[in-house]
Each structure stands twice: as C-alpha cells, then as structure tokens.
Amino acid sequence: MRAYGHDFASPLLLGTALYDSPAVLADSVRAGQPGAVTVSLRRESAGQLAGQAFWTLVRDLGVPVLPNTAGCHGVREAVTTAQMAREVFGTNWIKLEVIGSGDLLQPDLFGLVEAARLLTEDGFQVFPYTTEDLVAAERLLRAGCEVLMPWGAPIGSGRGLNNLFGLRALRAHFPEIPMVIDAGIGRPSHVAAAFEMGFDAVLLNTAVAKAGDPVAMARAFRLACEVGRLGFEAGPMPERDMAVPSTPTLGRAMLDA
C-alpha cells in the first residue's frame, strides 16, 4: 500500500494494546512483519506498558509508528491528542478516531470530518477511522485525507466484514483511494476476504493480542494478507446464480437404447 507518498512494506498493520507482556508484543510484531504499528497516546499516558520503556520497545522493533487518537469522543479532544502525539512520536501521521457511540465504538462521522479538516490544515497526514458511508468518505477526502479506513465491524468484536454490500460499494466508488479495513477483524479468513474485495491493507489488534498463541496468529494474518492479495490479483471467477458444468456436454458419448 502507498499512502501520503510512503510505501508500506506490508499491508498488515498491527495495534500494540492488550498483549500480556512486552515480550509477547515484540514476538508478535516480528512474526507478523507489519507495515506499521499503531500506538495510543492516551493509553501510554495512562502507563499501561510503562510509558518510556514501551516507546523504547516499539522504536527498537524498527517498524513505522502510526499514533492514534483512540478513546477520543470529541473534535477538540481528538485534535489536542493528535498534536501531543506528534510531539511524542515525531511524526505527522495520525490515525484519527472520534468515537460517537460508547457501546459500538462507532465513529462520529460529523466530528470526524471536522477534526480531519483541522488536522490536515495543521500539517497532519490523517488516517481516518470511518464507516462504509459514501457521503462521509467524500467529505473526508475533501477535508484533505488521502486514505480511508472503514470499519469491518465494531472494534474488538471479531465479527469480520459485516456490511459486504456497503464495503464493495465504497471500494468501487473510490477505486484509486488507498483503503484499510480497520476494526472487527477476528480471523485470517476475514483478512483474505478483504483483500479479495480489493482493499489495500488491514489493521487489527485484538485478534492477535488475545489469541491463544499471539505469535502464531500474527504469522497467520501475515500469510492471509499474501493469499488474499494474490487471489485478487489473479482475477477470481465471477459468481453465478446457476451451475455451469466443468465438463462439456458437446461430443460426449451417446449410448443407443
């Protein structure tokens, strides 16, 4: 995937929360070989993984860092968090989250567009966590975003790609825009399906961090990215409503009664 002039080494992006230990996180990142890892400034400020020690761990992995505004429920809060993240992590990248629903962690699309506009004007390169809504996508692009990150399903739900029609419509409507399926991924098969639909990358966290074997699961997701992308590029056969015989009937042997 290429976004904001950067070629990501892998279409798999990994979150860094919820791992049982820093060692498990590091081993999972090495197994998954992601193109970037996401880090929440709010989470780090709370000291979940010992602040500076955690930042040192992430830096030593040699993977690009995509800070995010996870947990922000308003425009001002998200913008302020992004500005702080730029100071801490030394990057203009920001994964922008403006949450509107506490139960589903669904984006506030109105606040998201406004925050994206303000951050873009401030020099940020915004990766917006959004839905499959076409109107919101158009307004995010007008606000200056060069990539879209529609959810597959609510964060941490593991339900996969809930709205196949909506996601296909979004992909078809903006064929040249880099798109990342963000949130709701639970299995490697969900990742393969996203790539087969033409999406450029996936971002996931809980499915690896809370797997029985996070390291093995990270590797499984890496391979699923490769399989799904290869299948898409190979040109899948079209779906049909009727059966089509694989063995032709023309020229088959006929027996007299």
Task: Classify residue 90 as left (phi > 0), alpha (psi -120 to 50) or beta.
Answer: left
- b/e per residue 8-34 (b: at least 16 CB within 10 A): bebbbbbbbbebeebebbbebbebbeb
8-state DSSP, 212: S
Check 11, 36, 70, 95 and give the catalytic one: 95
Strand partners, 2: 7
Question: What are the residue ranges of helices labelled H in the chain?
Answer: 22-32, 41-45, 52-60, 75-89, 109-121, 134-142, 164-173, 188-196, 206-209, 214-234
**Catalytic residue at 95?**
yes
SS3 label, residue 224: helix
Q: Answer for the pair 179, 185: CB distance below 8 angstroms, yes or no.
A: no
The closest of 149, 143, 134, 138 to 66, measured between CA atoms, is: 149
Q: Answer for the pair 75, 69: CB distance below 8 angstroms, yes or no.
A: no
Active site positions, annotated: 95
